Structure 1
Amino acid sequence: MASVSHVTTPSSNNSSITHPSHIVVSEDLKQAAIDHLAYLKEYYDHPEYVQKQALEYAVYRYDMFWLPFLAEIDDLDIVPPLDVLFVWHAHMLAPTSYASD
């Protein structure tokens, strides 16, 4: 799976994007989309991960172990187990919350 896509603005001090033309994407979006679909299929192939108890345990493992671990490292090539990866992915979909955590 490809690493997290990097989207930057011309000024790193400016956290808001005021115009779409200011977005610079440094990833092959076609390949990133293909990788993302492969990731979603991998999750789809394991329906046991969507059971309530399994989801709660994945969130617990993410909060207690992976989130602190990921905060200490710069290497985004480390991939957690699939269930925890799904929780991480969902957390990153809320960027303000993710940045504060």
Structure 2
Amino acid sequence: MKIPRQYVIVFFTVFMMFSAQYANAYSAADKSLRGLAGMTTGVLEIPGNMVKESQAQGPAIGIPMGLAIGLGMTVTRTLVGVYEFLSAPFPLPAGFRPILKPEYPWDYFK
């Protein structure tokens, strides 16, 4: 039994369309891990914001400004982490999307 080439092409095209839809989708497990990471590694906001601000404004302004922003974001990241961890089974915000950008505190260093 030989499968015509058109059927194979259509199958892979449909497969790619549906897999692309879910490639960027978040799940309850993603939200739970994001919350756990926020609770435990929120302190990475300090060096992360120092790097971000230094790249944007130069080291003379970026290091002290990043330190101040990072101290505030450490508390924010930890509290949002607790919220995301506890509310992981519920799709709030819609589609389990992250509340903070960057999604993880170590994403500053990419």
Shorter-normalised TM-score: what interval?
0.3 to 0.5
Q: Give the TM-score normalised by structure 2.
A: 0.31
* TM-score, length-scaled by structure 1: 0.32
Which protein is richer in helix relative to its size? 2
**Structure showing greater relative contact order (alpha-carbon pairs closer than 8 Å, 6 or more residues apart):** 2
